[in-house]
Amino acid sequence: MTPSGRVFVLMLAAMLVSCGGGGGSSSSTGSSTMPAPPVFPTAGMRVEESDPAVTLGGAWTASDSSKGWSGDSAMQATAAGATASVTFVGTSIRWIGSRGRNMGIATVSVDGGPPRQVDTFARPSDEIHTPIVTIYDLSAGQHTLTITATGTHNSQGTGNVVVVDAFDIQPSFTVSHWQDTNPGLQYTGGWTKSSENFPWSGSGVSNLPELPVTAQETQGAGEKLTVPFRGTGVGWVGYRGPDAGIATVQVDGGAPTQVDLYSPTAKFQPTVFAARGLADTDHTLTIQATGMKNAASSAARIVVDALDVMTPGRRYEEYEKSITYVGMWTNDNDARVWSEGVTNTSNQPGATATFSFTGTSVSWIGCEKGSAGGVANVFIDGSLVKQGIRLTQTYPIEGYQMTVFRQDGLANGPHTIMVQVINTDGSYVVVDAFDVHP
């Protein structure tokens, strides 16, 4: 190219730039673009602690990697002032964390509002990926939940640990965590009780001479567990490890799904199988040991530790203002794995718990076991609908977070359900929560 040609090309390029040519913006400010606005999690989403929507402030460390956390990881803090914030769009949010003897006290607040204290202490072995608190009735739109570690624990606790595992944004379902001792579970004869030396769900506490809740396990080919449940989802909480085998899982007798539980390192309380999106009706989950194993595994061990049953609706915990208590009720029962921490219990004849709600279906979530084997009447809108519900079970059967009573088919409007203690033998009646279903 001649010198005059080079000059012409340079002049043409300058003209294109000054006029916005070359496919760029026609604005006189140039071709730069504005950054896209952040996209926040919305209704129905689970947000792990590692998600960009979660901001950690202060001293946080990774939680015990031998636990089967949601998303396979969690973060924890012990120092006062450490914060975890999540920004989301929705009208409610559920904090998924951990409870145990080493767990401390945190505060939660939304959009900088008044802090609410949450105690994550519990007597059983550490319970992981468990609902800590659900905050409802927020205005539609964007919000920020902030969890702040206080660096303190209650008088029974041994540590100040606060764990952030995940968040459920505007969850449309409740979660009932059933132990392997639930009265509805049907085991074939080849299952045995697991050792107490492992951090199983619900373990570490018992009423002597009873043994603590642990887990059930087998290596026998063909051994089955059948789980009847009502809901739209179910999760099998089990075990992965270097001695774990292969199982098959079926829902309602459908096609079996093979689940290989081998892991080079042991993981306790992981959710090893989950089925969601089921119709809101009665179902059956079947877990069957195959006797087979991964080539790298040393054994064919299959463990059933607990089950999570998901049911459409909203849960009202025992402390809600919509529940009124008459008579003597105790609100410090933290000795078992209860829904979001504790329960109200009474063994006083005539004591009542009345829940006011609006809807067409309601459930009383409670307990069935030897020491909580009281007897209760249930009233709907003042009328006796179920007389003499006997809650006793013979050890080793123990049921927690159970649907003790459910009433469907109500007119869509305001109602009350009242639980009345009627036994006189000192046995307890447990009110863990109430569920309102759509």
Same domain, 296 and 333: no
Q: How far apart are CA 406 and CA 387, in angstroms?
A: 13
Average pLDDT over residues 217-242: 98
Domain that residue 94 falls in = 46-171
Q: How far apart are CA 82 and CA 161, in angstroms?
A: 11
Q: pLDDT, tens digit, for every residue of 162-218?
A: 999 999 999 999 999 999 999 999 999 999 999 999 999 999 999 999 999 999 999
Token pair for 362: 């309601």
Q: How far apart are CA 435 and CA 438, in angstroms?
A: 10
Same domain, 50 and 164: yes
Specify the residue for token string 């000192």: 426
Same domain, 126 and 141: yes
Same domain, 51 and 159: yes
Contacts of 43 (CB under 8 A, 6+ apart): 89, 90, 91, 169, 170, 172
Same domain, 307 and 188: yes
Count of domains observed in the chain: 3
Tell me which of 63 and 30 has the higher pLDDT.
Answer: 63
267-270-272-278 Cα dihedral, nearest 10 degrees: 180
Q: How confident is the model at residue 23 (pLDDT cuts 50, 70, 90)?
A: very low
H helix and E strand count, the chain: 1, 35
Tell me, yes or no, whether 9 lies in a domain: no
Tell me, yes or no, whether 131 lies in a domain: yes
Same domain, 323 and 350: yes
How many CB atoms neighbour CB 62 within 10 A?
11
Last residue of a domain, one of 268, 293, 311: 311
Tell me, yes or no, whether 144 lies in a domain: yes
Specify the residue for token string 């975890």: 84
Last residue of a domain, one of 112, 137, 171: 171
Same domain, 190 and 296: yes
Same domain, 299 and 339: no
Tell me, yes or no, whether 33 lies in a domain: no
Tell me, yes or no, whether 350 lies in a domain: yes
DSSP string, 384-421: EEEEEEE----TT--EEEEEEEEE----SEEEEEEEEE
Contacts of 291 (CB under 8 A, 6+ apart): 219, 220, 221, 222, 245, 300
| Parallel, antiparallel or unpaired: strands 306-312 and 173-179 | antiparallel
Q: pLDDT, tens digit, for every residue of 325-345?
A: 999 999 977 899 999 999 999
Average pLDDT over residues 23-48: 70
pLDDT for res 66: 98
Same domain, 258 and 355: no
Tell me, yes or no, whether 390 lies in a domain: yes
Same domain, 196 and 294: yes
Tell me, yes or no, whether 55 lies in a domain: yes
Tell me, yes or no, whether 8 lies in a domain: no
Last residue of a domain, one of 311, 337, 352: 311
Tell me which of 6-15, 345-354, 380-389, 417-426 is least confident.
6-15
CATH number for position 242: 2.60.120.260
- With beta carbons less than 8 A apart as the criterion, state whether 234 and 285 touch: yes
Query: CA–CA distance from 81 to each of 58, 84, 149, 283, 412 (Å)?
Result: 7, 10, 6, 45, 45
Same domain, 307 and 319: no
Same domain, 282 and 376: no
Q: How far apart are CA 370 and CA 368, in angstroms?
A: 7
- Res 306 pLDDT > 50: yes
